[in-house]
A and B are shown apart, each in its own frame.
Chain A
Amino acid sequence: MENFSLYQLLVPTFASLMVLRALSQLGRRGRTRREFFAVLGVWSALSLISIFPTIFVDKIALFLGIRSGINALFFFLFVVLFYVVGKLLISHEEAQEKITGLTREIALSNFRSEQNLPFDTRQHRPLTQNPAEASTQENVSRLTHTA
């Protein structure tokens, strides 16, 4: 008990709250079972590491060749977290770009119909050799067949 630190109490408490939150989300169908078990696994692991640092952290640090102990491991974990958050942000942005692309394509398609312009879903290239000769209906059917 002499070597017991405050973080060994705080981390498991916070982890329990996170698991309870995930459980509540699971009950309200806000989270899938798979996601819940992932959350449970991550927070349980963090709790165990904080409660038994000598068993886990020191061994992992020794295995990785970092001899300065827990600080080095936390630093490493922060780097991993930064990477993961960054990847998530980028994938979120990519998803947003795809939604925008779809929204734009619908808007432009309607615009071309209104302006009686040849259809083209790929930038500004005409679908036919001579777009002026192609009627809107011809291009619509072309797109329908090629899609």
Chain B
Amino acid sequence: MTELCPITTSPTRLALKILGAEDVHRVHAAALALLGAEGAGAEKAARLAPDTVVLGGRVYEHHTVLGVAHCWLGTGGPAALVRPREGGDPRPAIPADLAEACRLADALPEVAVVHGPPVHAAAETLPAELACCFASTSKHVQLTTLRSAAEADVVLRMAIAVAGSDVEVRGRPPVSLCAGADALGAAAVFARAGLPVGIVAAPSGHAGDDDTADLAAALVRHHAGVLAACAAIQAIVPGAPFFYVADPALAGLAAGSPEAAMFLIAATQLGAHIGLPVSAVGMTTGSHEPDWQACTQNAFGALSTMAAGADLTAGAGTLGGGSVFSAQQLVMDSEIYSWNARITAGVMVEDETIALDAIKKVGIGGNFLGQRHTREHMDGVWRPRLLDRSMWDAWVASGSEGAYEKASQLTDEHLAEHQVLPLGDQLTETLARIVAEAGL
């Protein structure tokens, strides 16, 4: 049975900052200075871009909007390797893995955007992968590997087919582009058609294999790269939807490091400074397994982006710095997102939540279990899907099950039961024809 899972999110009420107001100005000014004569124009161009960006799904329930004080979750990718669900070492991805990854993302209410796409099988073309994504999820697809204008033309035809027309594709674009400098040509094609893009125009440089010596300098380079790309796009199509990409990898920072978390907070501040929505890659664990390390790294990365006010945090489901996709990891990252969404929703303080009357009524040494106030608000208490809260003996008796085992069960259940909203025969045929004609 087809099942539409609405996306769950909550408002971001926190405003975590790592740069003072003066520091933001200094980094911004240094980036403009780095751009030289183009600097002034770049700042103006950024102001032309809209402050909200729609990432459309195939259905209304799967639309997301960046720039409205909500942070959405995106998958990671594209990973060339896949960690088998049944266990064992990662193996090269096959086309069926992409369909499965997208279907799982479709079933998980926390996932809003299929970023990547999550899996890349050798010899598969991008249009073929996009057709697979459209068939396997009705959520928005954000591409990161699109490079040529020719490929972008093909993708645009597919997006128009899915949206229904070249007018509708502007209102609810089912595809967006998030990439580095080499995707500027493709980004121009997207921008002309009204599809959202986020580009970092210049390579940021590396101090070592994966470390950049000075974060302030890394921020200047990265910010200049975003400003330059934004200026290039706005020069082609003034007012084109453009989002600020905050990806520690593009800034040359080690996957999941404290510096990456700091960069994410600061980059989000810089994005807000120039009035652009921020698409961050907050889950970039370098761990090879869905373990303690993967969790600490993604918890910090996700909280940094979400608490700082980024609009999208992507990277869920990948391991090894984005090289491996794991279905269980996607479920576990969704739980991390869910925790963080509750945290960033903050504490509501009003007469009803202060509950002074209930406190006085219960008095010293009583309990709130039987109170009407408790019954009215208990559904607001966050509940886990993967955590174990049983007593020790019960836990041992149940086989000492951990989060990974629970994630495996959930993954199997979703993939056994979840049906994606079908594309329909006509659209499926149209997409197949576009892919075949592309001959890429």
A in complex with B = no
